[in-house]
Amino acid sequence: MKTVPVISAQEAAALIKSGDTLLVGGFGMTGNPVHLVHALAETQTRDLTFIGNNVGEAGLSGGRLLRNGQLKKAIGSFFTSNREAVAAAQDGTLEVQLIPQGTLAEALRAGGAGIGGFYTPTAAGTVIAGDADVRVLDGKEMVFVPALRGDVALIRAWRADTAGNLQYRLTEQNFNPAMATAAALVIVEVEEIVEVGQIAPEHIHTPGLYVDYLVQATLTLADLGSSADVKGGAKRVDESRLNMARRALQELRSGDVVNLGIGIPTLVADLITPEMNINLHTENGMLGVGPAPEGGGAMDYPVNAGKIPVTALPGASYFDSAASFGMIRGGHVDAAVMGGLQVDAVGNLANWAVPGKPLLGVGGAMDLASGARRLIVTMTHTDPDGTPKIVPECTLPLTSRGAVDMVITDKAVFEYLEGELTLTQLMPGATLDEVRKMTGAAFVERLG
């Protein structure tokens, strides 16, 4: 059995050259090799290409490299979590390439498996597809995505043995396992290094053959950024939003695997009881999501896709991002409840690009919208200025085409029956006349 060298964070940083492409693990700051990245920030290394879900947070992890002017380009799925990355993209000091979250994970997995690329239905018909090769396979339009590899991968695991075998903790897998396979040089930051044999073979997530160096580093609350802590307590929620959440919950069935988006959909989680037997999935790598803890943060609990600490229900499981999005694209998620900016008469959804804002934060929306068996959209019926959100044709950049099954607003419920946008229910306090006036698209009425 080989022995992997244990080095300091500073020695690890010295192995990275200007112009290198870096793979940096983590979902937000969870599972992020923050000590390795901060050691790199103390060097004069420049012109780096940073590949990760996001560029850390302002001043943390990749955010520190960004402040130092060490990054030339960033490839990821959600740059809007770092306001400084958004500003750098807008002023042209940082080149960015936006990739849907599941596509990013699969591109890394493919790169590590020696596969040149793959076709995916995610992003078909959207601006993200760009000029990529598009083919129809098994009746679905699919976009070709080339594999991703890096010169150096910086990842974090919970434990390693002296042979480099890795074990991850809770939702800290995310992009780390795929990145460990997809770089010429792999450096792993770990909480603890133990002797060979102290991690049972069945508990090893990444075999040591991928690992070149280990660095021991202890995680602190300061390293976790916005996930460091969560306060319990009752939420004050507008009644109309709660009504939308309650109506969405009526569509979920016992045994369903369900993914909830941010915003109004997250309220559904607060309404689910154990007796309902609804299994919540979060795309960063967890099935069996429970309610938020009364206190504590990512040092003690898993986190959800909103980077908020949650509890794990009995029977919960953890996995990496590539496996998570395989569940989504493979049709194993029964329902997704998502927010929306626009939905149109033929079931197209636009929900990731805010008017007047840079297009820098697609996350997992495109994968979920095209991959879930059933897509329920919850949103206010109009914008604050009264502009309808249900429109004849989406004018905002699309998330998915023809994928929406139901729209629940504060005024009404619409379904797509026999291919037609159909009003099936009025929400509490709403009248048919106001729904007609506030809906931009033509619809059929089938009120029970």
Which residues are annotated as catalytic? 283
* DSSP-derived pairing of the beta strands 134-137 and 140-146: antiparallel
Residues of 302-338 as b/e, b for ≥16 C-beta within 10 angstroms? bbbbbbbbbbbeeebebbbbbbbbbbbbeeebbbbbb
157 has which bridge partners? 190
Tokens representing residue 15 in the block: 């192995």
Query: Alpha carbon 27 to chain centroid distance?
Result: 8
Sequence-distant (≥ 6) Cβ neighbours of residue 319 within 8 angstroms: 173, 285, 286, 287
Q: What beta strand segments (E) does 138-294 contain?
A: 140-146, 150-161, 166-167, 183-194, 213-216, 230-231, 257-260, 279-282, 286-289
Residues of 362-377 as b/e, b for ≥16 C-beta within 10 angstroms? bbbbbbbbbbbebbbb
- The owner of tokens 């920030």 is 41
The amino acid occupying position 310 is: V
